[in-house]
A and B are shown apart, each in its own frame.
Chain A
């Protein structure tokens, strides 16, 4: 079997304002005709730079190939003129990107954007291109093609936009499709549908696919071969079964050990029969429409649950399910429309603003986006000292002592206090976010997607930290997440939400072993399992997901 694309000893230099870096060093990989190669690595591993270098999609001012060859279908792409390379881009090698929300031009219609490669590469007339564009949208499973063609990107959902991107990429029947984290920004059920689509098209058209992803589950469910990258270098290349069953490189072994699903669930939760610390009943949050132009939105619709001290309740759902709004409404960060929230016997909704402020020290929140939630011009010390000054009567020395104590609690050091947010990695920043939440000795912490933006290795460490802190401090967590494998590791009880309503509520064992609601079943079926031999029967899984999502909509 011959290879369609062979990269040999590729080295890439990027000139940055702080000097040149080489994010890709001596990388070699190859993609056989008609096969799917997974290029796996954590952020900063060089996987995206490698992929984007193939068709020179990185800024030419600063990115230079300093060594190696990229052989594609008998040509060395690194030697091609710009003009010849343009004939390859979009026609022979097409690319789909991670962010469907920003990858389409907001001021051009879908018809215009899908037709472009057809007119440029295949020389179709305006009329022919429009007809072909409709066929392409139909091929990627878009039903109302006439309307979608007239639409602008902002009128479509994320999943729809990614389908449009795929239609555009497949328009000239390319030999190679480069997919850079194509489903990372999507919900699991949408992810499944998009991956299915890519696999169907690959089989039907014999396209080779280079799939760049950080998600080993996605790789296990889709790829034929896998190349693992770390620190700009290839660690290992092997058939997918071998990667998961007999990994050779140390890094691959480590990566696999971080997978939430590969780690045992070792929870000895406090019993649930204690008096609940937090009790939420019939919580409703309606966001009023903007004047007459939009309808009011009921984001949370009659949600009830309770959390006992020292236990973790996970709220699970896809985007728009109301899980984050629930978390914020129960802290009165969004004022609930109706319902009752009792915290340690106190009716939260009845508190005055001053009483609520005093109570806030006992209920804290950790956010997903650690960068946005820290002031970039303040040192960590200044940021962290603020709540202590507001809520306690500690003097300067006392504050400093407490800060050092908390920093050590979350695995950071006292010297980190003098630094600014940008000097930390994502994982360290999340530790700072947790430190801030712990400063005032809370008994409840709401964690809103605390590990979603982190690489698996860092994710594992932060989850360990959260568990450790719970054991030592007796914290109760409300853990908001879209990631079921993480939830299985950390939670005691699970609440599944869809469209603002609770569709299922039970212990982790109950919900994961015997889900009752079709939507829960769909969510579980859609999670890509990192076991290549456990590729579910695709038709059966698709059925489960379709039934569940339909149910959720109804």
Chain B
């Protein structure tokens, strides 16, 4: 518990720094939001009125204070291209992105960790070489191209994938909102029709998004395992007459786990960023596609909010990594 508080306290300065950076960056961007809002033909007095309404005539430091105050009240600004407050847009769209990133991370772990373990225990054998080739391909494949190929092959040609439009098929009611994650909500409410539809919709973009992370997690798992397998305590485990599977999975993998967890945390941040591309390709109604629309509409408030949310997610992922690692390795908790 003590550890949690310490880590959260350590996050605060980083968070404040991020907010200040975002604020400064958006102020130095070219363009006048008031003029954009009013339109090219607007009367200067109208522009001035909008500017006063938005508080843009105030000194910069007062604007910053107001920005902080707004954030603390949960006010992320107004997205005029959708006509809603940014906070309400995020409330409806963030779960879609989080769900996509979580499913992608799950796929990357389920595929990457065993691949890494197998590569390490069969070092320099054909499996290891195949793993290396896959990792190279996976890490260097452009995400937008991969997404398009998946749609062309699995939707257009084979017809296995549903139309890349939204989170469930048309005509199916989304599950009652509890967490906002359709897979979880549909299971909680026992709505298996919605669950199947949601699963078939999320699996394809998640697979695309997971490819790069799978490759990286597999490589990192392999090198962490190779290091651990050479340790004295692994030899001790062998000398006790344990089965190779027990030696590998209990004695070695458990020690390699902190590395895997750390990499997964970093990857989660990457996945949130990668969602911008994947969501656009698959027209996934998350904050990734939303932020692309906002940029195209030169609507800055949502972009600011996205940056902030991405930073918070990144910090939160790191916090989770630290806490999980402290559970995995007693030496960290005692340090």
Chain A positions within 8 Å of B, measured between CB atoms, are 55, 57, 61, 82, 86-91, 94-95, 97, 99, 102-108, 116-117, 120-121, 152, 154-155, 165, 168
User: Can you add 14 more A-B contacts, CB < 8 Å, to A87-B241, A154-B334?
Assistant: A55-B239, A89-B240, A89-B241, A90-B241, A94-B239, A95-B239, A97-B235, A102-B231, A102-B232, A104-B236, A105-B255, A108-B254, A120-B240, A152-B331
Residues of B within 8 A of A61 (CB): 123
CB distance from B16 to the nearest CB of A (A): 23
B247 CB, min distance to chain A CBs, angstroms:
10
Q: Write out, one digit per residue, whether chain B residues 52-67 have a CB within 8 A of any chain A CB (1) or not (0).
A: 0000000000000000
Docked CA distance A102–B238 (Å): 14
Residues of B202-256 contacting chain A, CB below 8 A: 231-233, 235-244, 250-251, 254-255
Select which of B235, B242, B331 is within 8 A of A106 by beta carbon.
Answer: B331
| CB nearest neighbor in B for A172 | B241
Assess the A103–B233 pair: CB atoms within 8 A: yes
Contacts of A89 in B (CB 8 A): 238-241
A120 adjacent to B241 (CB under 8 Å): yes
A106 touches B329 (CB 8 A): yes
User: Is the Cβ of A154 less than 8 Å from the Cβ of B330?
Assistant: yes
Contact (Cβ within 8 A) A116 B240: yes
Closest to B236 in A: A103
Q: For window 258-300 of chain B, which residues contact chain A by CB distance below 8 Å?
A: none
Residue in A closest to B252 when the chains form the complex, CB atoms: A105
Residues in B with CB closer than 8 Å to A165 are: 236
Q: Is the CB of A120 within 8 A of B239?
A: no
Whether A116 contacts B329 by the Cβ 8 Å rule is no
Q: State the Cβ distance, A412 to closest chain B Cβ, in Å.
A: 33
CA distance A116 to B255 in the complex (A): 17
Closest to A152 in B: B330
- The answer on a CB contact under 8 Å between B255 and A168 is no
- Asked whether, in the complex, the Cβ of A117 is within 8 Å of the Cβ of B330, the reply is no
Known contacts A106-B255, A107-B254, A107-B328; A57/B239 CB under 8 A: yes
- Some 24 contacts from A to B, beta carbons below 8 A apart, are A55-B239, A87-B241, A89-B239, A90-B240, A90-B242, A91-B241, A94-B239, A94-B240, A97-B232, A103-B235, A104-B233, A105-B233, A105-B236, A105-B237, A105-B255, A107-B254, A107-B255, A107-B329, A116-B242, A120-B241, A120-B242, A152-B331, A154-B334, A168-B240
| Residue of B236, B243, B244 most packed against chain A (CB within 10 A) | B236
> Which of B241, B328, B329 interacts with A86 by CB under 8 Å?
B241
CB closest chain-B residue, reference A109:
B330
Q: Measured between alpha carbons, how far is A105 from B330 in the docked complex, in Å?
A: 11
Expressed in whole angstroms, the Cα–Cα distance for A116 and B334 within the complex equals 25
B241 pairs with A102, CB closer than 8 A: no
Complex interface: chain A residues within 8 A of B236 (CB): 95, 97, 103-105, 165
Taken together as a complex, chains A and B put the C-alpha atoms of A102 and B230 apart, in Å, by 11
* Cα–Cα, bound, A102→B241 (Å): 19
Q: By the criterion CB–CB under 8 Å, are A154 and B331 in contact?
A: yes
Measured between alpha carbons, how far is A89 from B243 in the docked complex, in Å? Answer: 11
Nearest CB on A from B1, distance (A): 16
Q: Which residue of B lies closest to A87 (CB)?
A: B241
Bound Cα distance A87, B231 (Å)? 23
A154 to chain B, nearest CB (A): 5
**Residues from chain A with Cβ under 8 Å of B238 in the complex:** 57, 89
- The CA-CA distance from A89 to B239 in the complex, in Å, is 6
Min CB distance B180 to A, Å, is 36
Q: Judge whether A117 and B254 touch: CB under 8 Å.
A: no
Contact of B251 among A91, A108, A154 (CB under 8 A): A108
CA distance A117 to B242 in the complex (A): 8
Quick one: closest A residue to B231, CB to CB? A102
Cα-based distance from A86 to B243 in the complex (angstroms) = 7
Q: Given the complex of chains A and B, what is the CA–CA distance between A102 and B250 in angstroms? A: 17
Quote the shortest CB–CB distance from A541 to chain B (angstroms).
30
Task: Tell me, in angstroms, the Cα distance from A86 to B239 when the chains sit together.
Answer: 8
B240-A117 in contact (CB<8A): yes
Question: A123 to nearest B CB, angstroms?
Answer: 13
Determine if B232 and A90 form an interchain contact, defined as CB atoms under 8 angstroms apart.
no
Check B239–A102 contact: CB distance below 8 A: no
Complex Cα distance A384/B248, Å?
A: 46
Question: Nearest A residue to B251 by beta-carbon distance?
Answer: A105
- What is the bound-complex CA distance between A91 and B240, given in angstroms? 7
Is the CB–CB distance between A106 and B334 below 8 Å? no
A529 to chain B, nearest CB (A): 30
Q: Mark B299-335, 1 if CB is under 8 A from A, else 0.
A: 0000000000000000000000000000011110010
The residue of chain A having its C-beta at the shortest distance from the C-beta of B243 within the complex is A86
- The distance from the CB of A209 to the nearest CB of chain B, in whole angstroms, is 15
- Cα of A88 to Cα of B242 in the assembled complex, Å: 11
Residues of B within 8 A of A87 (CB): 241
Which chain B residues border A104 with CB–CB below 8 Å? Answer: 233, 236
B331: chain A residues within 8 A (beta carbon):
106, 152, 154
Least distance between B241 CB and chain A CB atoms (Å) = 3
Q: Which residues of A have CB within 8 Å of B243? A: 86, 120
Distance, CA A296 to CA B329, complexed state (A): 25
Q: Could you say which residues of chain A place their CB within 8 Å of the CB of B123?
A: 61
Q: A107-B255, A107-B330, A108-B254 known; A121 and B241 CB under 8 Å? A: yes
> A57, A99, A108, A117: which has the most chain B beta carbons within 10 Å?
A108
